[in-house]
Amino acid sequence: MDIWRIRGGRRLEGECAAQGSKNASLPILAACLLCPGTVELSRVPCLRDVDAALAILRHLGCRAEQAGDRIYIDASGITSCEIPHELMVQMRSSVIFMGALLARCGQARLSLPGGCQLGKRPIDLHLAALRKLGAVIEEDGGEIRCAPSVLRGAEILLPFPSVGATENAMLAACAARGETLIRGAAREPEIQALQGALRAMGADVRGAGTDTLRISGFRGRGCVRLRIPPDRIAAATLACACAGTGGKICIRDCDPGQFSTVLYFLNQAGCDIITKHDRVTLSSEGALRAAGQIATAPYPGFPTDAQPVLMAALLRAEGESVFTENIFENRYRQVPELRRLGADILLKGREARVRGVRRLHGAAVNATDLRGGASMILAGLCAEGETLVRDSGHVARGYEDLDGCLRSLGAELTIQREGENHGLYIQKPQALG
């Protein structure tokens, strides 16, 4: 258990680089199964989810070595196409190994994935897409068995642009005979990153960034070097942190266009924002105004992953900001915790009305999930006094050295492992659950 001890009220000032993208790294790590030679990945963020992907690759018999932010994967000698339950439940992206294993081995055996509890998160669209390609899949309780199958190109129509289903279909389609069309595909930047990786490995994939992908074959190339693109949600999180606390920061090595919807609302709320190439400079007086109506949507719409962190930035903004969550049924888990800090948020179904309060006060709260945890940390930075965020490891699943980055910008915070400091005092322990 990590306990973030945050003393709020400090303005953020300085410069910080955006980390490599979690949600691009994970499918690219799965795609390494297709490559006959070694894949060298650079700028891979140091995250628990990346460790989980490496554990899966090693279990399958791949060589996976890490040196700083570089990872070398050699999948030439894989020995298994089965992923045990305890590895599957460590993250959501373990499900992407299904498409990769089908492409590599023509079969797979795994169980339902884990990940943040943001709603039902079924995998029906993944299974339907893979079945369309000819995969013979049986579900038995939580177990998924893909029997030895010959994959053939097909036209897949996704009724919703699921990121994971698009990735699974892309991976499996690489090994299919003939051409595959994926219509209604997700357009997220992570799909473009996966397309780039697959092309470098020898796949003929086109269309990423549009709603139609065309995949026609794979001619494996030898060794491949790839650089992971910047993490748009981690960059958006830093921007929201400074917007809420006040101050001026420059986020380096990011792609501002990929989180322009978040920057748009921060600008509406009164932040000055300058974007130049791979940098965003944001200044905030701290006294923001409400940002209007914010509705999450598939890319290029406002990202659901940025909803909790933008909400934290707007807790003290004058007026009412209205969020509508359209992607996940259960993505307001941060709200009851934010209320402990004094936030005024009215929840009704998919809608959350945030009425700005003059001040937030420190309290003991729980990190409910990855982005919910980040939301709590940001709210703690904006609150008066001390906030303790109890986190069972969610934040480290997706943020690389977030505490170090925030400290370098002037935030006053430390992380303690529970048990290391016996004098640690947590308010309302009975309510922490």
Active site residues: 116
**Which residues are near ligand EPU by CB under 6 A?**
23, 26, 92-93, 116, 119-126, 160, 162-165, 190, 304-305, 327-328, 370-371, 398
Residue 242 structure tokens = 């400074």
User: In angstroms, what is the minimal distance from the CB of 26 to ligand EPU?
Assistant: 5
Q: Which residue, 232 or 316, has its beta carbon nearer to ligand EPU?
A: 232
Amino acid at 322: V
Q: Which residue, 286 or 398, has its beta carbon nearer to ligand EPU?
A: 398
Residue 380 CA to residue 403 CA, distance in Å, equals 13
CB 318 within 8 A of CB 289: yes
User: In angstroms, what is the minimal distance from the CB of 257 to ligand EPU?
Assistant: 17
DSSP letters of 179-225?
A: -EEEET----HHHHHHHHHHHHHTEEEE-BTBSEEEEEEE---S-EE
Residue 250 CA to residue 242 CA, distance in Å, equals 10
User: In angstroms, what is the minimal distance from the CB of 409 to ligand EPU?
Assistant: 22
Q: Which residue, 233 or 251, has its beta carbon nearer to ligand EPU?
A: 233
Q: Which residue, 222 or 393, has its beta carbon nearer to ligand EPU?
A: 393
Residue 95 CA to residue 144 CA, distance in Å, equals 10
Residue 283 structure tokens = 């200044």
User: In angstroms, what is the minimal distance from the CB of 304 to ligand EPU?
Assistant: 5
CB 393 within 8 A of CB 48: yes
- Give φ, ψ of 345 to 5 degrees: -130, 125
The count of other CB atoms within 10 Å of the CB of residue 430 is 5
User: In angstroms, what is the minimal distance from the CB of 23 to ligand EPU?
Assistant: 3
The residue sitting closest to ligand EPU, measured at its beta carbon, is: 164
When computed from its CA atoms, the radius of gyration of the chain, rounded to whole angstroms, is 22
Nearest to 215 by CA among 153, 268, 267, 134: 153
User: In angstroms, what is the minimal distance from the CB of 187 to ligand EPU?
Assistant: 11
Residue 236 CA to residue 241 CA, distance in Å, equals 9
Q: Which residue, 121 or 390, has its beta carbon nearer to ligand EPU?
A: 121
Residue 258 CA to residue 18 CA, distance in Å, equals 13
Q: Which residue, 4 or 399, has its beta carbon nearer to ligand EPU?
A: 399
